[in-house]
Structure 1
Amino acid sequence: MKYIKQIGYLYTPILIVMILFGSCADSFLEQPTIGALPEEQVATQTGVEALLIGAYAALDGQGNTTGGEALGGGNPWEAAPDNWIYGTVVGGIASKGSFGGDQPAIDPIAKFTTDPSNGFFNTKWRATYEGIKRSNNTIFYCNEAEDISDTDKAKIIAEARFLRGHYYFELKKMFNMVPWIDETTEDPKQPNDQDIWPMIEADFMFAYQNLPATQGDFARANKWAAAAYLGKTYLYQHKFTEAKDIFTDVINMGVNSAGEKYDLVANFKDNFDAATENNAETVFDIQMVANDGTGTIANSNQGGKLNFPYNSPFRCCGFLQPTQELVNSYKTEATTGLPDLNNYNQNPVKNDMGISADASFTPYTGSLDPRVDWTVGRRGVPFHDWGYHPGAAWVRDQAYGGPYAPKKNIYWQATQDKYADQSSWAPGTAINVHIIRFADVLLMAAEAEAQAGSLPVAMEYVNRVRRRAANPDGFLKDYVDPSDPLAGFDESTNAANYNISEYTTAQFGSKEDALKAIYFERKLELAMEGHRFFDLVRWGIAEQTLNAYFAYQGSITTDVRGGKFIPGRSEYYPIPQAQIDLSVDESGQPTLTQNPGY
């Protein structure tokens, strides 16, 4: 079999995948790869559809895995699609977790002391360019096929360009200057000397103009997912007017791939439960599935397999521990129900640092945003239906990573047989990875409106998110019987002193004040979802925010001591040295240029 068109610095053959459609499947993406097509069949409707499915399959960052290794030879978490390392840990939302000797290559990434030889960057680069290669192959052979109608060609190419736009967006926000390689590129050794934002825009615009509003498979991107991603692309470039206009259309007219109008679901937690996902809030998710018959967790968010409480029913591994700085952010003022945007680290939320699991502990009784307990596992508060979080018994090294555990990625005990996968040494889960959900759209739109001077509209979008958070039906409740976690919740008793209210014009009186509130709301609503570092960079506040974080969090845990954000360098990750070495041309010179400061 010949190599398919060689795209990207990967130098590996690509197999054209066929996907087995099962009668019980919710999504065509939830099925395993089972074989390959001979190349003479590629430029056909059947072959091109298989290529497109392969391009979707690369969304999880894993590709075809062997022995649990991610595409490109690294570990699966190095290319995790939720960017838990590159967006959440580096953004100060979570500590790496576990203990210092476990996955030590993450520590210098989190502290901005890393160098281009760190293999994590190479794994992420290769996995993302694999997605680009598959997207390009889909476009190329779709154009070559003679048995595909013009209408179907436009739709297939639009889906492939949406996916390519996503992959390039990932690379752009991480590495900034990356080589643009498309279906017409003959030599993959292209320089990284041009800004690729215009090409990303063009891909999402084409997808927006050519995709249908609804799809037969929920996992496929639709017209409105492309519109939302185009708006996000505008926002990252500070094209606020363009972003505002398209977000307005998404909010007013957008529907998910099943045709359901975008809206916030009634309960915040339903976005993080496999039983209630793929809902009105879903703009674009990476679909995950458990127990798919492969005997692996490759389709069960393998990139997040480390991120469960240590020494717990989940077995492994104690990574991705929310920070004290994040937990303090959920404090609200008792009289107003609003966050303290400036002094939230004063009078911190009580934790159980240094307190053994068999010693008594009373959780914090102050006023809190209810989203804290769907985001952070903390001592003395129900951990879904697994009972009360026991504190130090589920933490590998409190002094290193702090006392907390992640929660948005945790499956429920009552449904674990269906939505958890125990086929590996650490769990897999059917909880989807959110790329864009409607709350994210509302907050991006609020940002664009505030930048354009439309403060009342911006405030309403933020308050819409806060109103959902204030729905008492969605508050975490205490158990009827603490000794029986499956006895159900006592709907009359909240697990904490929850108090959250909407903003008024007093807090949105100027663009500066409005943006401060919007930025903070993104932190609260989207915590642990991989956005934070990239938000801080595009807002231009990464230096002061992260250096203040290092000073505060470093006084509590040892993991981030010595961290320092260096302006002009730390905004972007280094181009992997392995890729620079591979890019050497016939003259002996590399075609890739390293980012400043590395």
Structure 2
Amino acid sequence: MKKIVTLIFLSVVGFYGCKEDFTTTPPKGSLGGDVLQNEEGVDLLLTATYGLLDGFISGDPWQASGDGWWLDASTDDANKGSHDNDQPDLQSFQMYRWTPSNSYFITKWLAVYGGVDRANSVINLANSIEGSDMTVKIAEARFLRAHFHFELQRLWANVSYISEDLQLDPDQPNSGPIWDQIAEDYQFAVDNLPPTQDTPGRATSWVAKAFLGKMYMQKGDYTTALPLLTDVIDNGPFGLIAEFKDNFTFASKNSKEAIFSIQFNIGGVANDANGNQAQALVHPSGGPYSSCCGFYTPTQDLANAYKTDAAGLPLLDTFNDSDINNDYGIESGDPFTPYAGNLDPRIDYTIGRRGIDFNGYGVNPGKDWAPEQPEAGPYLGKKGAYKFEEEADSKGAGNWGQQSSALNYNLMRYADLLLLAAECEIEVGSIAKAEEYVNLVRARARDMTYVKEVGGTADAATYVIDEYPVGTFAAQGAAYAQKAVRHERRLELGMEGHRYYDLRRYGSLIEVMEDFFVNEDRMYGNRFVDVTVEDKNYYLPIPLRAIDLSNGKITQSDDWK
């Protein structure tokens, strides 16, 4: 144990993940061994573990992003963005030219296993301290360890589970899957965490139960997942907030809808590491942001998904028959008429379209703000970009810091939970209950404040949305209900980093992406004509460097050999 504590001390003074409130830590090098070997030391190590939720441990922070934005670049929701020669490894990822040497894969791998190591440091130190009840601290660490292992399992499938007993010998054979070990950690957190915490951002028993349910869903065990998710919905402290847009503002961070979030903050210093560094590439490259870099741009396919019929319901089977108007290839000074048909109002809080206000900065003029249209498309992402009225609180300082905002990222919010439960209900429960959950989400979208014309009070577009009439799912059948729930997740959670995992859970990755390539090339021409998605693309290849560093104990997944 003495050897482990020494290792913990050396590691914690070498890196910190300092975020706002409880995740703000003392300066590097300020700890001594006498401080570490008590409850204060456990708290500091636990803080450092929460700090790694953002994925930044070394290298470029966006490559290990805790919000998963770059993973969405391989889905029908998002383009990589910028131009093709910018971040070539990410371009290869979008085009499904995946190799074990891709820098994004190894950076993510090291960051997530780094989180596992930090969690194990907390557990080992807590277990070494006599005379104090460290159960809650250990439960928080085990929740975080479960979270990091869950990411590994979802991304690579064939991975190693590293317990606290293996911290000094982490090069273990990757004989995954590791679902059972992840479930044990989450369950320990459910059983031993308090139902509330004094400080926002810390895990609770309700948070752990929600993630345990989500884990079982991703595994495909709907029967076990459903009662967990239902209990959180019926008895937990979470709920929908009135305004959809407030899930993406500084003022409404840690609302009752935010089940668990990565905490970000800016302190006024240039290039503040406490801000969301992973989003540094994502803000528009033109207009009021005017620095960098125009990555993570919505697709035409996602924009089309927001069409509605006269009753305000989505066009589940026909939304891609034609494209809503876009300004692809049209100069900002040339005439352009936005789409006049019916739209779900969530589109204009999700997708930056020409002719519509962009986060309070005025009318989006199109190409001048999205100059890389030939490769990135005509749209801009809005959810992760700070708002005009909140610049003082959420806009970072410095050349890169301007893009490191103080907006939290919701790893799970209540609408996500409702729609996960709806999926479960269709598979093993009540179709009527699934419809009820979907309608809760749609009712909020219907009743929220819509985007207005700049300087006016009229709606910025023809927004038409309503709930599904009671009994629709039952009358149309399970296949229809499943399609409706999956579509609703796109509408509600688009550009939030969930689509990559959803397509893999559905088992529809190849079919969806093949249709997407054809539909998207109506605008681009032949951009995606040679892209091929295979069964092996359900998981990433094990990074070559990880195999090399393990001295052969870690082996490549069979599909990637």
Pairwise TM-score range, normalised by the shorter structure: over 0.9
In structure 2, the partner of 1:126 is 110
Q: CA deviation at 1:412?
A: 1.4
Provide the rounded CA distance (Å) in 2 between the counterparts of 1:17 and 1:122: 19
Q: Deviations 1:571-592 (Å, cap 9, x if unpaired)?
A: 00111000001111xxxx4433
Q: Secondary structure at the match of 2:80?
A: strand
Q: CA deviation at 1:364?
A: 0.5
Q: Is the 8 A contact 1:19 1:33 kept in 2?
A: no
Provide the rounded CA distance (Å) in 1 between the counterparts of 2:100 and 2:333: 45
In structure 1, the partner of 2:369 is 394
Provide the rounded CA distance (Å) in 1 between the counterparts of 2:541 and 2:522: 28
Q: CA deviation at 1:213?
A: 0.9
TM-score (norm 2): 0.95
Q: Is the 8 A contact 2:75 2:499 kept in 1?
A: yes
Q: Deviations 1:418-469 (Å, cap 9, x if unpaired)?
A: 2110223352111111100000000001011111140111100000000000
Structure 2 unaligned segments of length 5 or more: list them.
Answer: none
2:342 equivalent to 1:361 = no
Q: Secondary structure at the match of 1:358?
A: coil
Q: Secondary structure at the match of 1:346?
A: coil
1:204-223 alignment to 2 at 5 Å? 204-223=186-205
Q: Identify the range of structure 1 (336-345 vs 419-428) with the bigger mean alpha-carbon deviation.
A: 419-428
Structure 1 unaligned segments of length 5 or more: list them.
Answer: 64-70, 256-261, 481-489
Q: CA deviation at 1:101?
A: 1.1
Q: CA deviation at 1:399?
A: 1.5
> Would the alpha carbon gap of residues 374 and 2 (structure 1) be closer, same or farther in structure 2, given more than 3 Å must change?
same
Q: Secondary structure at the match of 1:321?
A: strand
Q: Secondary structure at the match of 1:431?
A: coil
Provide the rounded CA distance (Å) in 2 between the counterparts of 1:309 and 1:134: 34
2:155 equivalent to 1:155 = no
Letter of the 2:464 counterpart: N
Provide the rounded CA distance (Å) in 1 between the counterparts of 2:132 and 2:521: 59
TM-score (norm 1): 0.89
> Would the alpha carbon gap of residues 17 and 211 (structure 1) be closer, same or farther in structure 2, given more than 3 Å must change?
farther
2:550 equivalent to 1:583 = yes
Provide the rounded CA distance (Å) in 2 between the counterparts of 1:436 and 1:204: 15
Q: Secondary structure at the match of 1:445?
A: helix
2:423 equivalent to 1:447 = yes
In structure 2, the partner of 1:541 is 508
Q: CA deviation at 1:311?
A: 2.2
2:56 equivalent to 1:62 = yes
Q: Secondary structure at the match of 2:472?
A: coil
2:411 equivalent to 1:435 = yes
Provide the rounded CA distance (Å) in 2 between the counterparts of 1:422 and 1:559: 37
2:533 alignment partner, one of 523, 543, 565: 565
Q: Deviations 1:236-293 (Å, cap 9, x if unpaired)?
A: 12221221111111001112xxxxxx11000100000011121110100001112x25
Provide the rounded CA distance (Å) in 2 between the counterparts of 1:571 and 1:382: 37
Letter of the 1:48 counterpart: V
In structure 2, the partner of 1:383 is 358
Letter of the 1:160 counterpart: A
2:177 alignment partner, one of 187, 192, 195: 195
In structure 1, the partner of 2:236 is 254
Letter of the 2:557 counterpart: Q
Q: Secondary structure at the match of 2:138?
A: helix
Q: CA deviation at 1:39?
A: 3.3
In structure 2, the partner of 1:512 is 479
Provide the rounded CA distance (Å) in 1 between the counterparts of 2:220 and 2:460: 41
1:283-362 alignment to 2 at 5 Å? 283-290=259-266, 292-314=267-289, 315-333=291-309, 335-362=310-337
Provide the rounded CA distance (Å) in 2 between the counterparts of 1:391 and 1:154: 54
Structure number with higher helix proportion: 2
Q: Is the 8 A contact 2:194 2:204 kept in 1?
A: yes
Q: Secondary structure at the match of 1:516?
A: helix
2:467 equivalent to 1:496 = no
Provide the rounded CA distance (Å) in 2 between the counterparts of 1:180 and 1:58: 18
Q: CA deviation at 1:565?
A: 1.2
In structure 2, the partner of 1:15 is 13
Q: Is the 8 A contact 1:162 1:221 kept in 2?
A: yes
Q: CA deviation at 1:17?
A: 6.9
1:78 alignment partner, one of 63, 67, 72: 63
In structure 2, the partner of 1:39 is 33
> Would the alpha carbon gap of residues 143 and 201 (structure 1) be closer, same or farther in structure 2, given more than 3 Å must change?
same
2:541 alignment partner, one of 574, 588, 592: 574
Q: Is the 8 A contact 1:16 1:54 kept in 2?
A: no
Provide the rounded CA distance (Å) in 1 between the counterparts of 2:421 and 2:514: 28
Q: Is the 8 A contact 2:17 2:50 kept in 1?
A: no
In structure 1, the partner of 2:153 is 172
In structure 2, the partner of 1:184 is 165
1:101 alignment partner, one of 85, 90, 112: 85
Provide the rounded CA distance (Å) in 2 between the counterparts of 1:566 and 1:3: 43
Q: Is the 8 A contact 2:20 2:264 kept in 1?
A: no
Q: Deviations 1:97-146 (Å, cap 9, x if unpaired)?
A: 11111111111211221100111101001111111100000011101111
Q: CA deviation at 1:535?
A: 0.7
Q: Is the 8 A contact 2:157 2:176 kept in 1?
A: no
Provide the rounded CA distance (Å) in 2 between the counterparts of 1:358 and 1:18: 48
> Would the alpha carbon gap of residues 299 and 410 (structure 1) be closer, same or farther in structure 2, given more than 3 Å must change?
same
Provide the rounded CA distance (Å) in 2 between the counterparts of 1:562 and 1:30: 48
Provide the rounded CA distance (Å) in 2 between the counterparts of 1:127 and 1:18: 13
Q: Is the 8 A contact 2:431 2:473 kept in 1?
A: no
Provide the rounded CA distance (Å) in 1 between the counterparts of 2:328 and 2:339: 13
> Would the alpha carbon gap of residues 18 and 524 (structure 1) be closer, same or farther in structure 2, given more than 3 Å must change?
closer
> Would the alpha carbon gap of residues 18 and 351 (structure 1) be closer, same or farther in structure 2, given more than 3 Å must change?
closer
In structure 1, the partner of 2:258 is 282
Letter of the 1:111 counterpart: M
> Would the alpha carbon gap of residues 19 and 397 (structure 1) be closer, same or farther in structure 2, given more than 3 Å must change?
closer
Q: CA deviation at 1:37?
A: 2.2
Provide the rounded CA distance (Å) in 2 between the counterparts of 1:211 and 1:312: 46
In structure 1, the partner of 2:23 is 29
Q: Secondary structure at the match of 1:226?
A: helix
Q: Secondary structure at the match of 2:229?
A: helix
In structure 2, the partner of 1:421 is 396
> Would the alpha carbon gap of residues 401 and 16 (structure 1) be closer, same or farther in structure 2, given more than 3 Å must change?
closer
Letter of the 1:192 counterpart: N
Number of residue pairs matched?
A: 553
Q: Secondary structure at the match of 2:368?
A: helix
Provide the rounded CA distance (Å) in 1 between the counterparts of 2:17 and 2:369: 40
